[in-house]
Amino acid sequence: MHTSNISIDITLDNDKVPQQINWQAADSTANTTQAAKAMMLAFWDGADKSALRIDLWTKDMMVDEMADFFYQTLMGMADTFNRATHNQELVGDMKKHAQEFYNKFREQQNKENKLS
């Protein structure tokens, strides 16, 4: 049996706000530590039937980057759900919601930019 490790290092400021997020995976094609502005990590606790989550982002993560991150994460979750269940109807609903979320965000950004 093979064991693989993923390490995540978070550098915090004095107020415990993430300054840097760095990660490295033992079986990755990248040989060096990778930097990230945000991360979402979820574990499923089968005994409690609950999701345990860690969501972090750095101070320099821009709002438009956060919207892109959420959109891509939602689409990726839909793809994962598809591979696990093959439920095309629910996958379609999830992707439609992700697209509506992203479109609504963009509309709000455009309105704010016009007011500026």
Q: What is the pLDDT of residues 89-114, one digit of tens each?
A: 999 999 999 999 999 999 999 988 88
Single out the residue in 43, 59, 75 at which a domain terminates: 59
Residues 50 and 68 both lie in one domain = no
Predicted TM-score of the model (pTM): 0.89
List phi, psi (to 5°) of 25.
Answer: -115, 135
Please give the Cα distance from 104 to 99 (Å, whole number). 9
Residues 77 and 48 both lie in one domain = no
Residues 5 and 33 both lie in one domain = yes
Is the CA virtual torsion 54, 7, 70, 67 positive or negative? positive
Residues 1 and 55 both lie in one domain = yes
Q: Which of 72, 71, 39 is nearest to 53 (CA)?
A: 39
Only one residue has tokens 């039937």, namely: 49
Please give the Cα distance from 99 to 96 (Å, whole number). 5
Q: What is the pLDDT of residues 55-66, one digit of tens each?
A: 999 999 999 999
Residues 37 and 4 both lie in one domain = yes
